[in-house]
Amino acid sequence: MYYCVPLRRTHSRVGFRDSARRFGAFVFWLGLGCAPAPSTHPPNTDRTAFDGEAALARTAQLVNLPRTLGAPARGQAIEELANLFAQATKEPPTIRRQQLTGTDPKTNERYPLTNLIVDYRPHARRSFVLATHFDTRPWAEQDPDPAQRLRPIEGANDGTSGLAVLLELVPVLDRQLPPDIGFTVIAFDGEELGRPGYGGYCAGSLALGKAIGTGQFGDLVEAEFGIVLDMVGGRGQTLPMEPNSLQTHPELVKALWGLAADHKLPGFVGRVHRTGIYDDHIPLSDAGIPSVLLIDHDYPHWHTQADTLDKLSDESLASVGEALRLYIVDRYAP
């Protein structure tokens, strides 16, 4: 992630799924004198909370997948990640891959990158997007020890915690959402390719936004909203509202922070952070998917060798996963 306060614009789009929803409002039951047909889907009563301990165990599993830019086994790790998303639901999702090349703005070194776009229930009438980056930083320029700054970081929080929350949330949503609601999980590559003073962040989401602009992956703009996670597992974290998110999708930010207050979810604080952040939510919003960012702005181990598993807590992961579950399940409650 990169600190800045760009000016945002808002989006208003009416897509196929919106039109279908409006049409649906005019369809009503005409079965006078007939017994109603039994529903093919039993009422969904599962309201199990998000499991923070499972998310922490998932983070421990994922930190072993080499995802740092330039790692030799990286391609294999990305396929392993795709398999984990494929196995998260009974009905397998459709997985699309966007291949691109990223460039280190400081050295001009080029890296092959892959975004994973995982569509659960791809034929659903309505949908939304959940996203995070899966690449981990090859440098640690914030490390207090200059000798450590050229080594890759573990990235337990930055590059892994968001992924773990999404992997654990997918099966929960699959059980708790009505069958006509679909969702796309996007695991972005190349978020960490930026350098302070040079830019270059969010290579994956910028490339996806560009592709959406040319009609490729154009179906994604039908998504009703997007939520991006980045650094959401730090022990004792604070999650203030992110200014760009508030500008792009104020209703969503207020709804998430409001329900977090109602349910006393730890970490969410009812103030706006002083600094806007450039993260994957901005290219997504620019592409037409109004998206917000959940992030611990002030994670003390950001871009240092100390961003390791022991700095995370199941309570923090649970808080974020549960906020998402509550918002999404309630929004689409029949």
Question: Which of 4, 86 has the CB closer to Zn ion?
Answer: 4
Q: What is the 3-state secondary structure (H, E, C) of the chain?
A: CEECCCCCCCCCCCCHHHHHHHHHHCCCCCCCCCCCCCCCCCCCCCCCCCCHHHHHHHHHHHCCCCCECCCCCHHHHHHHHHHHHHCCCCCCCEEEEEEEEEECCCCCCEEEEEEEEEEECCCCCEEEEEEEECCECCCCCCCCCHHHCCCCCCCCHHHHHHHHHHHHHHHHHHHHCCCCEEEEEEEECCHHHCECCCECCCHHHHHHHHHHHCCCCHHHHHCCCEEEEECCCECCCCEEECHHHHHHCHHHHHHHHHHHHHCCCCCEEEEECCCCEECCHHHHHHCCCCEEEEECCCCCCCCCCCCCHHHECHHHHHHHHHHHHHHHHHHCCC
Residues numbered 151 to 190 that lie near Zn ion (CB under 5 A) are 158
Q: Measured from the CB atom, is 69 or 329 closer to Zn ion? A: 69
Per-residue binder mask for Zn ion (CB under 5 A), 259-278, x = binder: --------------------
For Zn ion, the closer CB: 71 or 124 = 71
Residue closer to Zn ion (CB basis): 292 or 326: 292
Q: Shortest gap between Cβ of 67 and Zn ion (angstroms)?
A: 12
CB of 301 vs Zn ion, minimal distance in Å: 11
CB of 303 to Zn ion, least distance (A): 6
Shortest separation between residue 294's beta carbon and Zn ion, angstroms: 14
Residues 191-230 that bind Zn ion (CB under 5 A): none
- Which of 167, 202 has the CB closer to Zn ion? 202
- Nearest approach, Cβ of residue 155 and Zn ion (Å): 7
Q: Least distance to Zn ion from the beta carbon of 49, Å?
A: 29
Count of residues in contact with Zn ion, rule CB under 5 A: 1
**Position of minimal CB gap to Zn ion:** 158
User: For residues 154 and 158, which CB has a smaller minimum distance to Zn ion in the complex?
Assistant: 158
Residues forming contacts to Zn ion in the complex (CB under 5 A) are 158
